[in-house]
Amino acid sequence: MKLPIPWGRLSRRNARQLVAFLILVGVVLYVRSLLEADEKIQSWEQPLDVAVIQLTPDETPIPDEFTRTFFAPSSYPADRGTSLHAIPRWLRDESVRLTGRDRTLIRFHLFGPTVFREPPPKPSDSFFGRIVAGFSFRSYLKRVATAASVDLSKFLVKLVLVYYSPGKPVDKHSDSYGSFRDHAGLVYVPTAIADIPYNVAEITHELMHTFGAKDKYDGRATVFPGGYAEPFKAPLLPQRFAEVMAGEIPLAPNRLRPVRGLDELRVGHETALEIGWLDDETVRRYYKGGRRTRE
């Protein structure tokens, strides 16, 4: 005697299994694409094309004087790196200093400014908060790209600059954002001439996050030794430079100074390891064998 086969139930089960399988395949392909992008970025075999998407939250015009200074052709290091266009040359010079390789590493492609009233998502320090913030930022980035007519598929790295009036209460440091997972960053930029040197340093810091660099500060304290541009200098303080992922120059215990130009930033060995410039053994030897020498 043959038992009736529950075809309907079997079909529904198979359908659920098929959906689950397709979702799994989609996740695997997505993760694979991210890993391939990570590897391409950190190989530094070809210059990285960076989409710089400029946004304004309202119709308030950006002052012409700010625009002329912020986007001035750079003669870095003669101009100390006080314009956006100094960043590619600074990155190149740091690569030469640490690796001996003279190469063009990034190329900026400017879009906008575009009026975009939707406020950017806020970053979070909690584990689940970072997951939610990541999804929110990726969704926000797609809407920004649509508004600015940018094809994100053409750029491995994306950088969003949000201009705002200097009098607006924005914590540009805490609210700015950079992600290696998304290869994208967002920086709040006050449109004041006096703030431009720090703006350029902040943009560089967030850009380094998109390459894989991690922060080198804990609260207001600079992490030693990775957060020090010259960890073996004697005396250690005051330092002459700021490590790019620490952002400020240590002058004395519990005393830091913001950089006055891009020429006061350096890529430390730990950061160079994180972005693929140096290997583990080279960095291990540096920190193990380093000794302080007097100026």
Query: What pLDDT is attached to residue 166?
Result: 80
Query: What pLDDT is attached to residue 235?
Result: 94
Location of structure tokens 């590619």: 88
The tokens describing 176, both together, are 């700015």
Neighbours of 175 (CB within 10 A): 16
Query: What pLDDT is attached to residue 20?
Result: 66
SS3 state of residue 179: strand
Question: CATH number for the 44-211 domain, one of 3.40.390, 3.40.720, 3.30.70, 2.60.40?
Answer: 3.40.390
The tokens describing 282, both together, are 């080279």
Pairing of strands 233-234, 221-222: unpaired
Q: How is the chain split into domains, by residue range? A: 44-211, 218-294
Q: How far is CA 250 from the centre of its chain?
A: 22
pLDDT, averaged in runs of 10, over the chain (295 residues): 53 66 55 58 92 91 92 90 94 96 95 92 74 86 96 96 80 74 94 92 96 93 95 96 96 93 96 97 90 47
Query: What pLDDT is attached to residue 15?
Result: 66
108 and 50 Cβ atoms separated by less than 8 Å: yes
The tokens describing 265, both together, are 């930033």
What does the alpha-carbon distance between residue 212 and residue 34 come to, in Å, rounded to a whole number? 13
Instruction: Give the CB-side neighbour count of residue 48, counting CA atoms within 13 A.
Output: 26
What does the alpha-carbon distance between residue 121 and residue 135 come to, in Å, rounded to a whole number? 10
Instruction: Give the CB-side neighbour count of residue 85, counting CA atoms within 13 A.
Output: 12
Query: What pLDDT is attached to residue 58?
Result: 84
With CA atoms as reference, report the closest residue to 275 among 204, 169, 175: 204
Query: What pLDDT is attached to residue 40?
Result: 78
- The percent helix, strand, coil of the chain (3-state, each to 5) is 45, 20, 35
Query: What pLDDT is attached to residue 295?
Result: 46
3-state secondary structure 180-247: CCCCEEEEEEECCHHHHHHHHHHHHHHHHHHHCCCCCEECCEECCCCCCCCCCEECCCCCCCEECCCC
Q: What's the CA angle centered on 49, arms 193 and 199, to 5 degrees? A: 20
What does the alpha-carbon distance between residue 208 and residue 215 come to, in Å, rounded to a whole number? 10
